[in-house]
Amino acid sequence: MKLYPEKQSNVYLIVGLGNPGPAYANNRHNLGFMALDSIARSNALSWKLLKGTYETAQIRLSDQTVFLLKPLTFMNVSGRAVAHFTSRKFVDFQNIIVVHDDMDLGFGKIRLKRGGGDGGHRGVRSIVDSLRFKDFIRIRMGVGRPPEGVSAEAYVLDDFRDKFEKEISNNLSVTVSLQ
């Protein structure tokens, strides 16, 4: 008799990092939430609030289940919500994809990588610390560097400003295909 169920190899989790609430909705730091909202819209999904600490939606792709997760615990403690959800759904940590903003990439650039350091991103660090695992997939979405004299924190917690940035963030289109 097994005490713990096996991790599910056909279950995927896409985590979008951001901060909850309307005050943060259009911040650069909320690109992860924006990407997941785009996926939900394009698949006519509705969000469900669970345990008050995250919103989730679900997609079925043939024999695979893909969960979308938006932690509502604020960026710096996102890992708590991710750890709770993965323990309930028995998600294999190899099947976790985290979508987040990245100041080390120019605006609009996207990079995909598995594992590595947190790059100073406190939301990613929280997930690594909570799961004690760093080899999940990261989708890094560039927001560029802050202008001289503006702190990194103030920059990412500020709304998209210029017309180009607003247009890109408002028209973000993300689809999901696991093959």
Annotated domain spans of the chain: 11-170
Mean pLDDT, the chain, as a whole number? 87
CATH topology of domain 11-170: Rossmann fold (3.40.50)
In angstroms, the CA 44 to CA 40 distance is 6
**3-state SS track over 93-160:** HHHEEEEEEECCCCCCCEEEEECCCCCCCHHHHHHHHHHCCCCCEEEEEECCCCCCCCCHHHHHCCEC
The reply to whether 29 belongs to the active site is: yes
**Mean pLDDT of the 75-96 span:** 93
The burial of 55, by beta-carbon neighbours within 10 Å (0-12 exposed, 13-18 middle, 19 or more buried), is given as buried
**Mean pLDDT of the 118-132 span:** 95
**Mean pLDDT of the 64-83 span:** 94
37 secondary structure, DSSP code: H
Question: In the block, which residue shows the tokens 């999904």?
Answer: 45
Question: In the block, which residue shows the tokens 């650069």?
Answer: 28
The pTM for the full model equals 0.88
Neighbouring CB atoms inside 10 A of 71's CB total: 28
**Mean pLDDT of the 67-80 span:** 95
Q: Which of 123, 124, 142 is nearest to 134 (CA)?
A: 124
Which listed residue (29, 84, 100, 121) is catalytic? Answer: 29
pLDDT value at residue 164: 55
**172 or 149, greater pLDDT:** 149
